[in-house]
Structure 1
Amino acid sequence: MFRRTFWFTAGAAAGVWATTKVNRKLKQLTPESLAATAANKAIDAGHRLKDFAVDVRDGMAQREAELGDALGLNDQDAPELPPQRRIAAIENRTYPKYTYNRNEDH
């Protein structure tokens, strides 16, 4: 008698456990849950990509400083650039107007 009660209880507990597992999995597979999961993963990927870009930028600045030191570019004062030349606009100049008609080529 005790064995039957034990196995009945064990079977009922296994049924309850399996039912709850299946219900949780079904809730995870609803369209709303899938959309929320995809959105969270996209946000996480964006944060990881941003962190990677920041690390790359920092590494670039560090390597540029190392190369500048190695080449002696950071020791010298930067020469001043010449002033920008001004180009006078040509006003009232007429150019011949060519019309192109592809049907008149032959």
Structure 2
Amino acid sequence: MFRRAFWFTAGAAAGVWATTKVNRKLKQLTPESLAAQAADKAIETGHRLKDFALDVRAGMLQRESELGEALGLNAPVEDPALPAPRRAAALDGPRSDGPRSGARPPYPNNHSYNRNEDH
């Protein structure tokens, strides 16, 4: 009698366990759940890409400063041939005060930007 009760209980427990397992899997495979999983993976991938880009940028800045020190580019420019205002302008580099009247664009516009055009 106890054997039959044991096996009946074990079978019922296995049936309940299998039913819950199947129902959970079916809920995971609904379109809403799949969309949520895809969105979570996309967000996670975006965070990883952002971290990678920040690491690359930090490495670039570090390497740029190492190269600048090795080549002496970080040293101040002292050219006695330039007067003081010109020396400061040489250190600052070219300025972009906006478009000037009569100024040409940096690149000639002699081609079409139409992507549908046959090449």
TM-score by length of 1: 0.73
User: How far 1:83 sits from its partner (Å)?
Assistant: 8.6
The equivalent residue for 2:69 is 69
Q: CA RMSD in A?
A: 2.4
Q: Does 1:28 align with 2:49?
A: no
Q: Which runs of 5+ in 1 are unaligned?
A: 90-106
> Is the alpha carbon distance of 1:88 and 1:54 closer, same or farther for their aligned partners in structure 2, counting shifts above 3 Å?
closer
Write the deviation string for residues 35-75 of structure 1: whole angstroms up to 9, x where unpaired: 01101110110111011101100100000001111111112
State how far apart, in whole Å, the 2-side matches of 1:2 and 1:67 are.
83
Task: State the structure with more CA Rg.
Answer: 1
State how far apart, in whole Å, the 2-side matches of 1:51 and 1:34 are.
26
Identical aligned residues as a percent: 75
How many residues are aligned here?
Answer: 87
**Superposition map of 1:85-104 within 5 A:** 89=102
State how far apart, in whole Å, the 2-side matches of 1:33 and 1:82 are.
55
> Is the alpha carbon distance of 1:56 and 1:3 closer, same or farther for their aligned partners in structure 2, counting shifts above 3 Å?
same
Q: Which runs of 5+ in 2 are unaligned?
A: 79-86, 103-119
Q: Which has the higher contact order (CA 8 A, sep 6+)?
A: 2
